[in-house]
A and B are shown apart, each in its own frame.
Chain A
Amino acid sequence: MDSLLKLSESTILTWITFIPLIGMAAILCVPRQNMSLIKGIAGLATFIPLVLATMVYFGDFQTGANGYQLVQSLPWITAGEFQVNYTVGIDGLSLPLVWLTTLLMFIAVPASETVPRLSKAYYALLLMLGCGITGVFISLDYFLFYVFWEVMLLPMYFLIGIWGGPKREYAAIKFFLYTLAGSVLMLIALVAMYLDQGTFSIPEMMAIGKAGAWTGPELLGMSFTTWAFWFLFIAFAIKIPCFPFHTWLPDAHVQAPTPISVILAGILLKLGGYGLIRGCFPIVPDAFRENAYVLGVLGVISIVYGAYVALGQTDFKRMVAYSSVSHMGFVLLGMAALTEWGMNGAALQMFNHGTSSAACFLIVGVIYDRAHHRDLNAFGGVAQPMPRYWALATFGFFASLGLPGMAGVVSEAMTLVGAFQSADTRFQLLVLISCLGVVLTAAYILWALQRVFLGPLNEKYKDYPDINGREVFSLAPLLFLCLVLGIFPFYLLDWMDTSVIELMSLLNPGS
């Protein structure tokens, strides 16, 4: 019995990842006319992982324990000296994101109701996407990580390309090309590091990084680790996305259907941030420390530039898309600071942005489904026919804005404090500049809310039905999280803290 329990423990991550894939196989067997059954399967195949992930969060996972938990490891490809393992496991940094993934996948199913030309293929691809994303978060083998990383590109391409807006084809291929360009850099770094030390295991690579044992050759005057660092960084920076690699994001977001935007902003961007702290910084910590300031600068440019461009948008969704660039800049700034506060803040900010930006995209989706346009200047007075929607939208956008008491402010403040504490005093100037971004954020969000909800009522909108139960069902858990984590951030911080300390010891071997 005891051994059985252990077995069920160690395979739970695999189940969380692959149940959506089983659901996808089931959906493919259902005739395409039977949409209600297809939706049911999709709901179930996303609900079970959510339940399992919640069980892991409050049960199996031991808060405060060092190292990786619920590890499962199997040999996968053994060919000569080429060894790849299927190794999965989580720590305090990946667990919240795994949970967030299962939550947003579950929310995406009812949120998909209003997607035009909905079909069986849509749900199949959605589930495949869920499998790929979860897989990245649980991988402890870099080869496996890379495979999952690429597996999610194809469903994303089709989800944007088939069910997206008018310029969907352009947006879909742009997304695909940008991400692939990044991942080939990751692949080349990966293979080079494998040739150097003969392992794909992420924990082993971290140990090699900590010991400074990479021995690869110097090329063109740059050390092996510096090359590896920049290749990996660009791969993940495209996904975050940080300036100047962000230009795919507005197109992909605006063209994607609402639930896909939710997943894109909520979790796909987190893959970039997560990739940095799992697959880049601790593996080549020396090169990271040398270049941390450059990263901090890129983060601040993203914060200010993203907010400034968001201010100029007239498309509601495009504005939210640029706000993502701005908010993810805080993640980069916090990580680059190399302080415990900064890292904790960055990890928290990833989760909080996952909930608040997902909520914002759902909110935009609600009004788009009614008006079939997103022109901020064409709205006005929508608060009158839709009071409940107004309340919820204000709630969601204030969370994004960073109103005290909401989640966003905690994490953003933590990253700024962390950056201010940085041993590198140049970061203090960066903090000062990024405060400008905070002001701009308040400006574009308040201005947008004002243009949409306040002012004289545009006659066209007076008959709009208020937000309905299904929409509230998708939105409520996200808003709830925004509020709870604003008041009780330690519900996440306690889980993450040990892992952050461990990560810091990898990044700062001296301290």
Chain B
Amino acid sequence: MPNIHLTGFGLLSPELVLGAVSLLVLIMDLVWKERGSSRLGWISIAGLALSSFLLILAFDDSVGDTAFGIVVVDKFGNFFKLFTCGALAVVVAFVMGDQRERKDRIGEYYFLLLGAAMGIFFMVGTNNLLLLVLGLELLSLASYALAGFHKGEKRSAEAAMKYVVFGGFSAGVMVYGISLLYGLTGTLDLQVMAGTAEGVGLTRSLADAVMTSPSTVALAMVMILGGFAFKISVAPFHFWAPDVYEGSPTPVTTFLAVASKAAGFGALLRFLAVLFMSPDVAAAVGAYGLQVGSLIAILAAVTMTLGNLAAVRQESVKRMLAYSSVAHAGYVLVALVAMNGDGLEAAMLYLVAYYLMNLGAFGVLIYFHGQTGKETYESLNGLGRAAPLISVSAVVFLVSLTGLPPTVGFFGKLAVARAALAAQEGAYAWLVLLMLLNSVISLYYYMRVAKHLFLKDSEGQTVRPQPAMATLLAVFAALNIIFLLYAEPLVNWTSASMDLLLLGR
């Protein structure tokens, strides 16, 4: 590939494409005034595809160039940007295939989704905490509006309201934490903070700050982690998730559970990696990083256990999936306790697995909700016979979510277990055991879906065929299996994506 040297706007071309397409969608919606047309959806998907194409094209050359001194273009960022494009494209496809979705105001729907994607792009593509917060807020604002998109529905309005209140509060906490860090170090740039880059003016590294005022650093860290914890729905900041997930339109729920959560993880991973994990800083703040790791271990243990125990008790499949996504956030955190490159890689691998299985699971929910109009377990009765392809795909997703072979979910769990077991001479073996026992609990409620699909008979369930959705879901199910049997590209991609982050520049 030719070495394309881009600067400034050139480096930002994927973001610019997204911005342009989001505006185009909004304008074309006004121009065409067609309701129920899928043309706007295709434009959005084309925009995301173009953006992904630019990202892939620039992937090998993304070695940490900086646009406007604040946006960093590196492989790690590109990994999450590509992830976002992939997730968003599927969410748009779900909107198009969702029979429950009202097709009026569809332009705004896509506009908000693409806007949220832009927020994610900035969030994961910067070392500057200010831009990180701005990206986060852009994502959040779009998400609030999306959660309440069905403004006539009480449930949806309630979801949006709860989301705004919780989101505003936790963003405030996070910004306060960041301001403390700024006060201590005199910079908002993570690399300057870590001491791996030269700062402007009077700055000092986090290591020095830890020496002089450890309690203030600890307070700042807890507050910042709290802000991230909200975004990735980690206990005790997860209370919003079930209600918001349940109340939002299901494609939006999918977006929140997959893309938004991965974005939160992307930013969190970069934050931890730059500050604590790179070899340059390990000597100075490594020990402090390990304490952060043990805090994360506690969060992980609480999150996955609470999420799973609550999911067992749900009667609505959508709410079950909401709690299950809380539990999965806990699993990703398990990988992070290692506070090293293996942990990062495992977390990223798990997120890819999570993408494949959770998008599939939500897709199945959208499909069946569109058919039956309900989201309870009972409404699934007998659908295994009526819609065998979708139901078998559903079983693949559920098995993958449980973490059983032969699916990619198993590979993700394995990577996480491996990273956490290797950490600290096996000191986190208890956490790995807890994670795996949690996956046994999760089997119970995931299999409950399979039970209602296949084991319960129903009075003549019929299904209107939706070939496009069915094909999409079957492909996802196949990918869930293929990426275990042929996991190499996945592993190579994730390890290539994080190498540079750790080595610094």
Contacts and interface: CB of A to CB of B under 8 A. Distances in A.
B405 A184 contact: no
Given A79-B491, A187-B414, A188-B429, A177 B422 contact: no
A472 interface: no
A151 interface: yes
Interface in A264-286: none
B433 interface: yes
Given A78-B488, A80-B495, A217-B425, A177 B443 contact: yes
B422 A162 contact: no
Given A79-B487, A177-B443, 16 more contacts: A77-B487, A79-B495, A80-B491, A153-B404, A157-B450, A161-B451, A162-B455, A176-B447, A180-B440, A180-B443, A181-B440, A184-B436, A184-B440, A188-B421, A188-B432, A191-B432
Contacts of B406: 147, 150-151
A219 B439 contact: no
The 4 tightest CB contacts between A and B, nearest first, are: A79-B491, A184-B436, A147-B405, A217-B425
9 contacts: A77-B491, A78-B488, A151-B406, A176-B443, A180-B443, A191-B417, A191-B432, A192-B426, A194-B418
Interface in A159-197: 161-162, 168-169, 172-173, 176-177, 180-181, 184-185, 187-188, 191-192, 194-195
B437 interface: yes
Contacts of A185: 436
Given A82-B491, A169-B455, A177-B443, A217 B404 contact: no
Contacts of B487: 77, 79
A146 interface: yes
Interface core residue of A150, A157, A184, A195 (most chain B CB under 10 Å): A184
B440 to A, nearest CB: 5
A194 B488 CA distance: 18
Interface in B382-439: 395, 399, 402, 404-406, 410, 414, 417-418, 421-422, 425-426, 429, 432-433, 436-437, 439
A77 B484 CA distance: 9
B418 A173 contact: no
A191 B421 contact: yes
Contacts of B7: none
A146 B405 contact: yes
A216 interface: yes
B151 to A, nearest CB: 41
Interface string A73-96: 000011110100000000000000
B429 A192 contact: yes
A214 interface: no
B492 interface: yes
B454 interface: yes
Contacts of B404: 150, 153-154, 180
B68 interface: no
A157 to B, nearest CB: 7
Contacts of B405: 146-147, 150-151
A147 B484 CA distance: 10
Contacts of A161: 451, 454-455
A387 to B, nearest CB: 40
B436 A187 contact: yes
A176 B395 CA distance: 14
Interface of A: 77-80, 82, 146-147, 150-151, 153-154, 157-158, 161-162, 168-169, 172-173, 176-177, 180-181, 184-185, 187-188, 191-192, 194-195, 216-217, 219
Contacts of A194: 418
Contacts of A147: 405-406, 410
Contacts of B410: 147, 150
B166 to A, nearest CB: 34
Nearest to A119: B385
B169 interface: no
Contacts, number: 88
B82 to A, nearest CB: 19
A162 to B, nearest CB: 6
B457 to A, nearest CB: 9
Nearest to A82: B491
A244 B120 CA distance: 52
Interface string B221-241: 000000000000000000000
A181 B437 contact: yes
Contacts of B455: 158, 161-162, 168-169, 172
Contacts of B440: 177, 180-181, 184
B9 interface: no
Nearest to B457: A117
Contacts of A191: 414, 417-418, 421, 432
B447 to A, nearest CB: 6
A79 B447 contact: no
B288 interface: no
A151 B404 CA distance: 8
Given A169-B455, A177-B443, A181-B440, A192 B491 contact: no
Nearest to A157: B447
Nearest to B455: A161
Contacts of A157: 447, 450
B44 to A, nearest CB: 34
Nearest to A161: B455
B456 to A, nearest CB: 8
B444 interface: yes
Contacts of B454: 158, 161-162
B293 to A, nearest CB: 17
Given A79-B492, A146-B405, A153-B404, A177 B436 contact: no
B417 A187 contact: yes
Contacts of B425: 217
Interface in B427-473: 429, 432-433, 436-437, 439-440, 443-444, 447, 450-451, 454-455
B444 A173 contact: yes
A116 to B, nearest CB: 12
Contacts of B433: 184, 188
Nearest to A80: B495
B343 to A, nearest CB: 13
Nearest to B492: A79
Contacts of B437: 181, 184
A180 B438 CA distance: 11
A79 B488 contact: yes
Nearest to A148: B405
Interface core residue of B405, B417, B492 (most chain A CB under 10 Å): B405
A185 B436 CA distance: 8
Contacts of A187: 414, 417, 436
Nearest to B494: A79
Contacts of A77: 487-488, 491
A192 B421 contact: yes
B398 to A, nearest CB: 10
B429 A219 contact: yes
A216 B404 CA distance: 26
Contacts of B444: 173, 177
Contacts of A177: 440, 443-444
Nearest to B422: A195
A240 to B, nearest CB: 19
A219 B447 contact: no
Interface string B485-503: 0011001100100000000
A185 B433 CA distance: 8
A217 B406 CA distance: 31
Contacts of A162: 454-455
Contacts of B432: 188, 191
Nearest to A216: B426
Interface core residue of A161, A177, A191 (most chain B CB under 10 Å): A191
Nearest to A149: B405
A188 B417 contact: yes
A190 B418 CA distance: 10
